[in-house]
Amino acid sequence: MEFTYEGIALIPIVTILVNIIKGTGVPTKFLPLISLCIGVVFGILFVGNGDIKNGVLAGIVIGISASGLYSNGREVVNGVRSMRRSRKS
C-alpha cells in the first residue's frame, strides 16, 4: 500500500464530515465507527486505484486517523477552555 498525499488530505475531510454528522444528533459513541466507514469508502474511491484490498486498508488508516484527530482536537480545545476559566477566576 502506498499512502500518498491524497490519503493524507482525506483525513481532515473525513473529520469535517463526521463533525457535520455529529450535528445531526447521532450519538457520540457511533462517531468512530462512522469515521471508519467514511474512511473505507474514501479509501476505495480515491486511494485504492482499482484495488479493493488496498483501498480498504488505506480507508481504515484514514478513518482511524480522522477519529484520532477529532478526539485529540477535542481534548486540546477542552484544555484551552479550562485554562481560560482558571485565569478568569
Q: Could you tell me the pTM of the whole model? A: 0.75
Tell me the per-residue pLDDT of 47-89, one tens digit each, with 9 for 90 and over.
Answer: 888 889 999 999 999 999 988 876 666 677 777 778 778 877 6
d(CA 24, CA 10): 22
How big is the chain by its Cα radius of gyration, in Å? 16
Task: Provide the residue ranges of all domains of the chain, joining segments of one domain with +.
Answer: 5-88
**Ordered alpha helix ranges (H), the chain:** 5-23, 31-42, 52-88
Predicted pLDDT at 67 = 85
**Of the candidates 63, 19, 23, the residue with the CA atom closest to the CA atom of residue 39:** 63
